[in-house]
Amino acid sequence: MGDLGRRARAAARLIALAPATKRDAALVAMAAALCANAAEILAANALDIADAKANGQNAAFIDRLLLDQARLDGVAEAVASVAALPDPVGRVLASWTQPNGLRFERVATPLGVIAVIFESRPNVTADAGALCLKSGNAAILRAGSDSFRTSSAIAAALRQGLEAAGLPADAIQLVPTRDRAAVGEILKGLDGHVDVVVPRGGKSLVARVQSDARVPVFAHLDGNCHVYVHASADLAMAREITLNAKLRRTGVCGAAETLLVDEACAATHLAPLVTALLDAGCAVRGDAATQELDARVTPATEQDWATEFLDRIIAVKLVAGLDAAIDHIERYGSHHTEAIVADDAAAARRFLAEVDSAIVLHNASTQFADGGEFGFGAEIGIATGRMHARGPVGVEQLCSFKYRVHGDGQIRS
């Protein structure tokens, strides 16, 4: 690891004080360098792909790892698009004046050094580097060993872009080794030179980071999201939202995993919802009432209520009203994203108030759990902690703040 942390800290100070125009110019130059270095990047990727195949990785893994010209163009475009976001640094978040004339401002500042630990998707190198730079932070990127050559080639292009704009290349550093011990060192904070760790990858990676990190972590472990169909729900809306929440993309953290249907509308709503799911090719694991509806429904186990399937599988349960729905979510949920479908405004208000999740929706799909859909631009992930970043983590959430106080000689009595 050498002096990676110390170099990141030194670069962070320069990046934090660089004007937005310079950071944006660097993002544009980084995008251009990704295009200019396409041959090197694709050649590195071909070597990573050959190794992955030789190691017997499956098709889904290979697909996540693969870059071609079109995908690389997309990566470059994503970096350039970050330049177009509003500058999150220096925003005055609040300001007020005290009776003694002191004027207070709460102002957004960069966090400092952000370490991003990811697995096989090489585009994360560019996305994470761009978001950290936009928010005035230095980035330490740890690529999965399978994408190491691709990520190294991408990081080299990003560093060219930084230098072309007159910013220190060390604002984006890729950990220069596949050695697994490096992750442990990062999680310990590199002697105080890492301010936050962002894991990007599967549950085992996130679990390890959450368990071992001695610095703050922006992440979620599970996205066990719920759709609750209240007695007052419009059936057509409930069907559309349920199908979309479960099936639009099953591998995203905002995908619904459990459908709760209120007993009070079971007679009218349960069968159409379950049939629609089954007909759309979704496996249904149901409670007793649900099993009676259709021979294709299999029994739900206790474990199913707590499972993030990330697949075409959903657990379905009848609940005895709003309180029972909230209790179920409280017991089995992961505080990520939950939706209520209801015409009854009071029921919706209670659900949004009482469900303790980062994102709660009324009459909308859980798949809106995404920084882009929130209007944040790109996101580095979704967090379910209660501190600092919660929900989608975009460039604003990659900032801290300070208080600026303006006086004209005030002393304290």
CB distance 89 to 108 below 8 Å: yes
Q: How far is the CB of 229 from a second copy (least distance, A)?
A: 13
Of residues 64 and 248, the one with the C-beta less far from a second copy: 248
Count of residues binding a second copy (CB under 8 A)? 59
First to last CA, the chain: 51
Position among 98, 268, 301, 303 found at the interface with a second copy (CB under 8 A): 98
Query: Interface residues for a second copy in 118-177 (CB under 8 A)?
Result: none
Residue 377 interacts with a second copy (CB under 8 A)?
no
Q: Is 337:357 a contact under the CB 8 Å cutoff?
A: yes
According to CB under 8 A, which one of 104, 191, 202, 346 is a site residue for a second copy?
Answer: 104
Compare residues 53 and 402 and give the one whose CB is closer to a second copy: 402
Closest contact distance (angstroms) between CB of 265 and a second copy is 17
x/- contact string, 313-352, with a second copy (CB under 8 A)?
A: -----------------x---------------------x
Closest distance of CB 361 from a second copy, Å: 4
Q: How far apart are CA 382 and CA 218, in angstroms?
A: 8
Q: Is 226 left (phi over 0), alpha (psi -120 to 50) or beta?
A: beta
Two tokens at 169?
């290349």
* Number of neighbouring beta carbons within 10 Å of residue 256: 28
Distance between CA 23 and CA 29 in Å, rounded?
10
Report residue 21 as tokens. Answer: 């125009």
Q: Is 373 in the site for a second copy (CB under 8 A)?
A: yes
What sign does the dihedral 232-238-242-245 (CA atoms) show?
negative
Q: Which residues pair with 53 in a beta bridge?
A: none
Q: Does 357 bind a second copy (CB under 8 A)?
A: yes
Phi, psi dihedrals of residue 49, rounded to the nearest 5°: -65, -40
**Residue 61 in contact with a second copy, rule: CB under 8 A:** no
Here's the x/- map for a second copy, 224-253, by CB under 8 A: it reads as ----------x--x--xx-xxx--x-----
Count CA atoms closer than 13 A to 111's CA, side-chain side. 30
Q: By CB under 8 A, tell whether 398 contacts a second copy.
A: no
Tell me the two tokens of residue 123: 């585009």
Query: In this structure, are residues 371 and 71 in contact, taking their beta carbons and an 8 Å threshold?
Result: no
21 binding a second copy? (CB under 8 A): no
Tell me which residues touch a second copy (CB under 8 A): 13, 16-17, 96, 98, 102, 104, 109, 111-112, 195-196, 216, 234, 237, 240-241, 243-245, 248, 330, 352-354, 356-365, 367-368, 370, 373-375, 386-388, 390-391, 400-412
